[in-house]
Structure 1
Amino acid sequence: MESIVTEAISLIEANKISSTEVGDVLGKKGQIEGVHALNKGMFRTGEVAFIYAINNSNYEVHRQLAEKDIKGKILFVYNVNCDKAIFGDLVTKYIMLYKQARAIVVTGKLRDAHTLIKEQYPIWLEDVSPIGCVNKQNGEDLDVEEYERLKAIYEGAVMVCDDSGVVMIPKEKITGQLLTKLNFIEFQEDIWFYCLDTLKMSTFDIVCRKKYLDGELLDRKLLDKLEEFQKNI
């Protein structure tokens, strides 16, 4: 039987539900602050595999990647005190080609941008830099308690990545009600664009006043479906 996580990912992928729409479903929340798409036109969603980089060193990144199964997942690299590029084209190729990750999200910088762009890797990051981290341990490692806290937040969550940025659905939010809300927002978007393109309504009447609910502008079946969604969200 398909898990709720798998079902949610399949629903988002099949309908290309954007990070914007998912953020709306989450009550205007969930953004991974500061990251943007390196290459335009990308859309990726998937379960999160969490690792970290610390103190301008990528030693722990190499170690964790060697040990961790990230196949089919979105690799999330959490930055702890790194203002230099965490890695570049070599590690990215390892992640994408050999470890078979779905995408990379980094709360920090990467280098070798020319190659990362040329290869059209699905990467979301804060910035690029020619100056990279060292490849040996540099200062104290991440505290075990802090690591477990961060892992509990990110590992197994779902990220939706596109040109607008990245939104994360926390594990506790991945429920049957989430599926209903995702289906509802897709249906509502269809109605809104119908009202705009066909009925030539103003966005004020569509979004704020919701005049399409008055019973005269839409087919009764559409209104009934909207009402059914409203009962379940």
Structure 2
Amino acid sequence: MDITDKIIEYIRTNKVSTTEVADCLGKTGVLPNIYPVNRGQFQAGRVKWVYAYNESNWDVHEQVRDVQKDDIVYIEAFDCGERAIVGELVTKFIILYKRASAIVTNARMRDAHKLIKERYPVWCAGFNPVGCFNTKNETPFDENIIKNRKENVEGAVIVCDDTGVVLIPKTELNETFYKKLEAIEEQEDIWFDCIDRRKWDTFDTVCLKKYKE
């Protein structure tokens, strides 16, 4: 098991929240304005990065053919306005047939009623019944963006829960970060013990850290 799998397994087993993961990243890592379609879901996994641009989802249909089991498919949309990037059909293909763990997108989705009814693990920027076009772009996508995302996003780790989505960069997928995850889980246990059992206030617990005395 490599270190990335070790980190993913620890996060899944211990249900390490996005709040805790962001704290381990120095209070960074959030993918802004992306929220769950369905409450009470938790996912963590390697990123399969997929792009869309110019109000077309042609490239999404093409790229998701390569999704692997347990991937978290991150669809990043560029110049798609308020249009929904995909809906129930693509979601079902990715989650049910490709067996991905989740879909995350900075764009809107359509078919909200179906995504909710089936409790699909989707995190998105909202909904819109008006979708992108399934037409091929005449101009190629920016190679510099592709290079950047392949180097920095593809193969990173995403964690999703009710609070939102946090991305752990590939540069943080190491033993040091694993130990940070262990430490923050221990810290959370101590803090809740302080307020629940010892009946301390949060100032003594969080700020003064009197449990260290």
> 1:209-220 residue pairs with structure 2 within 5 A?
209-214=208-213
Match of 2:95 in 1: 96
Instruction: State the TM-score, normalizing by the size of structure 2.
Output: 0.97
CA distance in structure 2 between the partners assigned to 1:179 and 1:147 by the alignment: 28
CA distance in structure 1 between the partners assigned to 2:67 and 2:122 by the alignment: 19
Amino acid in the other structure paired with 1:94? F
Are the aligned partners of 1:54 and 1:141 in contact in 2 as well (CA < 8 Å)? no
Equivalent position SS for 2:104: strand
Q: Does residue 25 of the first structure (1) align with residue 10 of the second (2)?
A: no
Match of 1:74 in 2: 72
Are the aligned partners of 1:56 and 1:138 in contact in 2 as well (CA < 8 Å)? no
Match of 2:182 in 1: 183
How many positions carry a matched residue from both structures? 212
Match of 2:127 in 1: 128
Match of 1:48 in 2: 47
CA distance in structure 1 between the partners assigned to 2:127 and 2:64 by the alignment: 21
Equivalent position SS for 1:127: coil
Match of 1:113 in 2: 112
CA distance in structure 2 between the partners assigned to 1:138 and 1:177 by the alignment: 43
C-alpha deviation, 1:138, in angstroms:
3.9
Equivalent position SS for 2:186: helix
Which has the larger Rg?
1
CA distance in structure 1 between the partners assigned to 2:113 and 2:209 by the alignment: 47
CA RMSD of aligned residues (A): 0.9
Q: Percent identity?
A: 46
C-alpha deviation, 1:189, in angstroms:
0.4
Are the aligned partners of 1:30 and 1:169 in contact in 2 as well (CA < 8 Å)? yes
CA distance in structure 1 between the partners assigned to 2:137 and 2:128 by the alignment: 19
Are the aligned partners of 2:67 and 2:94 in contact in 1 as well (CA < 8 Å)? no
C-alpha deviation, 1:182, in angstroms:
0.3
C-alpha deviation, 1:137, in angstroms:
2.0
Match of 2:207 in 1: 208
After superposition, the Cα gap between the structure-2 partners of 1:207 and 1:36, relative to the gap in structure 1 and judged at 3 Å, is same
Amino acid in the other structure paired with 2:96? L
C-alpha deviation, 1:145, in angstroms:
2.4
Instruction: State the TM-score, normalizing by the size of structure 1.
Output: 0.89
Displaced runs of 4+ in structure 1, greater than 4 A?
A: none
Ranges in structure 1 where 5+ consecutive residues have no aligned partner? 215-233
Are the aligned partners of 2:18 and 2:163 in contact in 1 as well (CA < 8 Å)? yes
CA distance in structure 1 between the partners assigned to 2:126 and 2:116 by the alignment: 13
